[in-house]
Structure 1
């Protein structure tokens, strides 16, 4: 499975600070300027696999606001795939500016736990998760057809103990199974309690936090990854300061010792949406420089 040919390719988890455009363009589409800024900043920072910036809402509302069966984060009917793709327009813009783009969908379990069920059509959240997976599989296929290099499924809920892990992995597998391109699953937090179920998902890349949760290194060092790549979070998304190149470099080298550089993609711990733009850009720029420094020594 090849995402990009160089060692230690850099990518993002997805979101970027929202910088709205003014003028007529801003009136027509207040957030397209934010997409342009997010894409331009990632390219300027030197990121190998960029995203569209995920600027059109938080990870729940950006998806459920246009899914049939959901209104105002309430499930009022059977959840189905939307008539038109949800994220493809912004993704196509990113593809027009950069050859390698990651398509991103919020995972079914995470979406389900952000919704309130107000219909007898669902006896519980687990049934909702599986219908959401069917709807998101349609979005994943549309992203693949648009030309993305990979599709990432964001499932931060899986590390919290709140979700049914068996149903969660079944739902992720439903999405991954429709793709011919590499699939990735991002899980935030400490993964020790959930890792055995996470490893049963049929994705190509497993993406975790390591700068804020270094204990994840120890957890994974004892596991068989079965040839899958690791998305290696080495920049703290929750830290409002910009880490030095040397600090990030040390974190990457720890990962190389355990996983091997050929098995790693380098990225932040999580999305950067809540940071100031200059901080987010600084983190990405220093991450790219740190990866280059480690790469030069290999």
Structure 2
């Protein structure tokens, strides 16, 4: 079932959820762009660790601010008018650089619901937050199309809020559908936390990959035991992003094998539970490299 869009003929392709520690540059070039070095460092470290599908590192500001700072209609953390698409690509330049270094790169969008619920509405343009979510989805669809034109292999939408119950799941699903319809690429949806209450809604979404936390939320695996994946692949978090201790290769291998028990080896991708931005650069690299080492050991059993 491994799709050529991800990694042709490869068992257990490895990827990242997104963020990497931001190691800023110094000197004159850093004055012009303090994050330029951070992007290059993050990309190089993912490649050095052995990741098959990398990201641009998501090193610029936070996952919300990186988008809201560029979307017309939003000022700081306030919505002051109707939200529109950004005049130029938000993540395109960093992703373009990543594509010069690796064959497989994912474009990453912070989800419409997660963005909307981080903002204060201070305009009569929106009667409620659900209307804001939909407009943000249309704005992000434009960013998704721009990333597709650059040549990314897939688009990942990060919606950590969906598992909390704070956001309307129906509106969130509609917003994801808007982005998916606008982009002729596989869509990966990353949702943090326990998923038992929303799993059936998630599996009905027009996505190719559902990315879950399985290292720190092993109960997420059990809810799939009697469910039809509807042709979807699953991104299995096998490294704990919330724990600074670097797991052993053996522990990560056992987590991967548990995921295989649930899904089979040809329907999953392997990644950390979430982003690694809050780790030290050395710790983040160690987690990724040990994850890749564990994957190589498991791949050997199927080759």
Identify whether the pair has TM-score above 0.5, normalized to the shorter chain.
yes
CA distance in 1, matches of 2:152, 2:274: 20
Correspondent of 1:69 among 69, 73, 76: 73
Shift of 1:197: 1.4
2:134 aligned to which of 130, 133, 147: 130
Could you list the runs of 5+ residues in structure 1 that have no partner in the other structure? none
Q: For 1:155 and 1:242, locate their aligned partners in 2 and report how far apart those are by CA, in whole Å.
A: 26
**What does 1:152-163 align with in structure 2 at a 5 Å threshold?**
152-163=156-167
1:50 aligns with 2:59: no
- 1:179-258 matches, within 5 Å, as 179-258=183-262
> Does residue 4 in structure 1 map to residue 10 in structure 2?
no
CA distance in 2 between counterparts of 1:261 and 1:59 reads: 31
Aligned length: 298
Give 1:96 shift. Answer: 0.7
Whole-Å separation in 2 of the counterparts to 1:262 and 1:179: 25
Query: How big is each residue's C-alpha offset from its partner over 1:31-83, in whole Å with a ceiling of 9 and x where there is no partner?
Result: 00000110000000000000000011111100001101000110000001011
Q: CA deviation at 1:103?
A: 0.3
| Aligned partner of residue 174 in structure 2, secondary structure | helix
The residue aligned with 1:100 is: 104
Task: Return the offset for 1:198.
Answer: 1.2
Please give the alpha-carbon distance, in whole angstroms, between the structure 2 residues aligned to 1:239 and 1:32.
28
1:93-128 CA distance string (max 9 Å, x none) = 000111110100000000000000000110000000
CA offset digits 1:119-168 (Å, max 9, x no partner): 01100000000000000000000000001010000000000000100110
Choose the corresponding residue for 2:41, options 24, 37, 45.
37
SS at match of 1:105: strand
- SS of 2:60's equivalent in the other structure is coil
Deviation at 1:196, TM superposition (A): 1.5
Structure-2 separation of matches of 1:121 and 1:208: 35
**CA distance in structure 2 between the aligned counterparts of 1:159 and 1:57, rounded to whole angstroms:** 24
Q: Secondary structure in 2 aligned to 1:38?
A: helix
- 1:174 alignment counterpart: 178
Out of 15, 19, 25, which is 2:19 matched to? 15
Unaligned runs of 5+ in 2: none
Shift, 1:202, TM fit: 0.5
Q: Provide Cα deviations, 1:15-45, integer angstroms capped at 9, x if missing partner.
A: 0001011112211210000001100000000
TM-score scaled by length of structure 2 = 0.97
> CA RMSD for the aligned pairs?
0.7
